[in-house]
């Protein structure tokens, strides 16, 4: 039985290594997700500034087009002044021309101010682009590092799975089946019971008669508390010469 237990313990050791590697690897996708969210947030800030610049540029362009159209309209009205036959018609058109010129003057001032705002916003967008570029480089470096660790962990798990397959071949088939059933629910699945009968899995005492039986038979049993496979610690001690 000692040899069977040692073989199973070796298998369990590999299983514990696999579980530890898998647990470590599980953190990497989450870390990648968080970094991707951070990158998306930084990109969103940049896009907001770019969008603001685009809107302001469009507004300025529309205003300038309106000014051109209004100036053309004033020129046409001025050309029509000499065609007016009555003083009333002449005065009305002259008044419209005066109002249009004042409006154009105001729009011109607005255009100049808007041009200044566009220039300032362009500098803001340029600054945000620099900040984003640096942030993106930093985050991409971190993501590449995590991806490398993930690939390494997956490679390690693949190697451990091969190691497990070899270790499983040395375990008694009946014992292996029982072990696999238990390990699906809790690990470690195989634990020792030490004096005065404490299960090293759940830290509870097994019944005295069960502990005595384990000592006497040097075999295995099942913990009534946690259902793990248990054995007396003495069962793994080297046989006396």
Q: What is the pLDDT of residue 93?
A: 87
> pLDDT tens-digit profile of 99-151?
999 999 999 999 999 999 999 999 999 999 999 999 999 999 999 999 999 99
Q: Which CATH code is given to the segment(s) 13-169? A: 1.10.287.1490
Q: Which band of pLDDT confidence, cut at 50, 70 and 90, is reported for residue 79? A: confident
Sequence-distant (6+) residues with CB within 8 A of 208 are 197
| CA separation for the pair 195, 146 (Å, rounded) | 45
Dig out the tokens for 222 from the structure. 């099942």
Map out the domains of the chain as residue ranges. 13-169, 173-236
CB 21 within 8 A of CB 153: yes
Q: What is the pLDDT of residue 50?
A: 95
pLDDT at 13 over 50: yes
CB 14 within 8 A of CB 171: no
pLDDT at 241 over 80: no
Give the closest residue to 175 by CA, choosing from 13, 43, 3. Answer: 3
Only one residue has tokens 């008044």, namely 95
Dig out the tokens for 171 from the structure. 């375990």
Lowest mean pLDDT among 78-87, 91-100, 169-178: 78-87
The number of beta carbons lying within 10 Å of the beta carbon of residue 11 is: 26
CB 43 within 8 A of CB 132: yes
CB 118 within 8 A of CB 56: yes
Q: Which band of pLDDT confidence, cut at 50, 70 and 90, is reported for residue 86? A: confident
Helix or strand or coil: residue 199? strand
CA distances from 192 to 6, 35, 92, 173, 198 (A): 12, 44, 109, 20, 8
Which helix (H) or strand (E) segment is 164 a member of? Answer: helix 87-169
Give the closest residue to 50 by CA, choosing from 118, 111, 99. Answer: 118
């Amino acid at each position: 039985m000692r040899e069977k237990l040692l073989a199973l313990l070796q298998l369990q050791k590999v299983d514990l290594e696999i579980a530890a590697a898998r647990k470590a690897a599980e953190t990497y996708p989450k870390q990648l997700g968080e970094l991707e969210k951070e990158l998306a947030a930084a990109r969103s800030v940049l896009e907001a500034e770019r969008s603001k610049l685009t809107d302001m540029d469009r507004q300025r362009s529309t205003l300038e087009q309106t000014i051109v159209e209004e100036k053309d309209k004033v020129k046409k009205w001025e050309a029509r002044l000499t065609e007016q036959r009555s003083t009333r018609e002449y005065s009305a058109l002259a008044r419209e021309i005066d109002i249009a010129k004042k409006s154009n003057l105001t729009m011109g001032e607005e255009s100049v101010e808007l041009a200044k705002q566009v220039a300032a916003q362009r500098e803001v967008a340029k600054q945000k682009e620099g900040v984003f570029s640096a942030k993106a480089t930093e985050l991409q470096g971190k993501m590449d590092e995590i991806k490398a660790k993930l690939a390494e962990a997956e490679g390690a798990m693949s190697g451990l799975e091969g190691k497990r397959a070899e270790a499983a071949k040395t375990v008694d088939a009946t014992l292996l089946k029982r072990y696999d059933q238990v390990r699906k629910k809790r690990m470690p699945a195989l634990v020792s019971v030490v004096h005065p009968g404490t299960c090293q899995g759940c830290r509870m005492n097994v019944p005295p008669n069960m502990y005595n039986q384990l000592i006497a038979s040097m075999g295995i049993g099942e913990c009534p508390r946690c259902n793990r496979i248990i054995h007396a610690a003495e069962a793994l001690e080297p046989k006396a010469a």
